[in-house]
Chains A and B, each alone.
Chain A
């Protein structure tokens, strides 16, 4: 048996056992004149090779590899939002809306679980602007649902310029009068209730 055959055999045995053999180390074990031959066979092996059954300790080491960590971070940052994923994620986590509301109430010291559930239902129905969710809430939901970073929905698209032009073409006098009327009513109405912690979580924006 040649050296290349033996070293290749050992490399493959180590691969199959989940021992994570290092290509360079194995190549160094054969004389330089035979390295191309061994490299070519390892190359072919990597096409044929099954993914090894790694022991738990090896999996942990792989997960901590700096190149992998950096790539996962980059992917996380570049991936677009997953609209309407909240109900699917919640169901997969085996949680009802009430369970999530209860967990949020505990975490943030909220007294009104019913209102928290109502906010969650509106969020799942797409009635809330995801851009107004606080980062604290998004982090808490992500943790509860066991996902790296939840993106509950894409922000609404900005108004197209044509929409503004279209409005200006209408009878301006009429809608200006309507706006002034609405503003007058608002000025006379009582000031809205200040936001409580629950409102801030769902409506206060990322920094609330």
Chain B
């Protein structure tokens, strides 16, 4: 809804309304951003650095993604956000690694390796890919796994999913987990093709 509001304001060249909708969209997705940062960087950033990365990512979303986003769906928006978060985490790591190296005398202490920069690719293509991936992958999920993931995507609460499908909570949890695992595998397959 908010994304639609943003897109129609941008089409109408009402920049103030577009910004307001975008700010709200980013605000309501704060938890998604923070969770993505936690998952993305849990192996290489401290909790404090992760908070920095959250702020860096949010600022870039509010300042840059606002102008560069060319998608039309939440799937594309989420994918663009995910890519931006990966860059933000790497940038925070690189910045902190430089500070650490500056503080540590030469030959003393262990150097943190410079992370490899994420591969540059075309933003528009990547965003379209995200949408195409979900459209391609979800129909490939088997029976109940697909039903549960589809209902989850629509924001249907767990109890209602149980009622609609006539299954127990355990079955919903299992189908959900297995569906997401299948999607992760399909993503690898999709990206490899």
Contacts and interface: CB of A to CB of B under 8 A. Distances in A.
Interface stretch (A6-14, A119-127, A157-165, A174-182): A6-14
Interface string A51-81: 1111000010011010110111011001100
A46 B36 contact: yes
Nearest to B3: A51
Interface string A30-65: 000000000111111111111111100001001101
Nearest to B137: A48
Contacts of A92: 17
Given A48-B183, A72-B23, A79-B19, A53 B58 contact: no
Contact of A50 (B30, B58, B153, B158): B153
Contacts of B149: 48
A133 interface: no
Contacts of B173: 1, 5-6, 8-10
Interface in B6-56: 14-17, 19-20, 23, 26-32, 34-36, 38-40, 42, 47, 51, 54-55
B68 to A, nearest CB: 14
A118 interface: no
Nearest to B133: A47
Contact of B63 (A27, A65, A74, A82): A74
Contacts of A95: none
A12 B184 contact: no
Contacts of A48: 134, 149, 152-153, 180, 183
B154 interface: yes
Interface in A138-169: 147
B26 to A, nearest CB: 8
B143 interface: no
Contacts, number: 147
Interface residues of A, number: 52
A41 B181 contact: yes
A67 B39 contact: no
Contact of A13 (B28, B63, B158): B158
Contact of B51 (A39, A67, A75): A67
Contact of A47 (B62, B82, B157, B158): B82
A75 B25 CA distance: 14
B63 A54 contact: no
A72 B20 CA distance: 11
Interface in A85-114: 85, 88-89, 92
Given A45-B180, A47-B82, A62-B30, A75 B16 contact: no
B170 A1 contact: yes
Contacts of B34: 23, 67
B177 interface: yes
B76 to A, nearest CB: 11
Given A47-B79, A67-B51, A53 B155 contact: yes
B59 interface: yes
7 contacts: A1-B170, A43-B36, A62-B27, A67-B34, A71-B62, A75-B59, A82-B15
Interface of A: 1-2, 4-6, 8-10, 12-13, 15-17, 20, 23-24, 27, 39-54, 59, 62-63, 65, 67-68, 70-72, 74-75, 78-79, 82, 85, 88-89, 92, 147
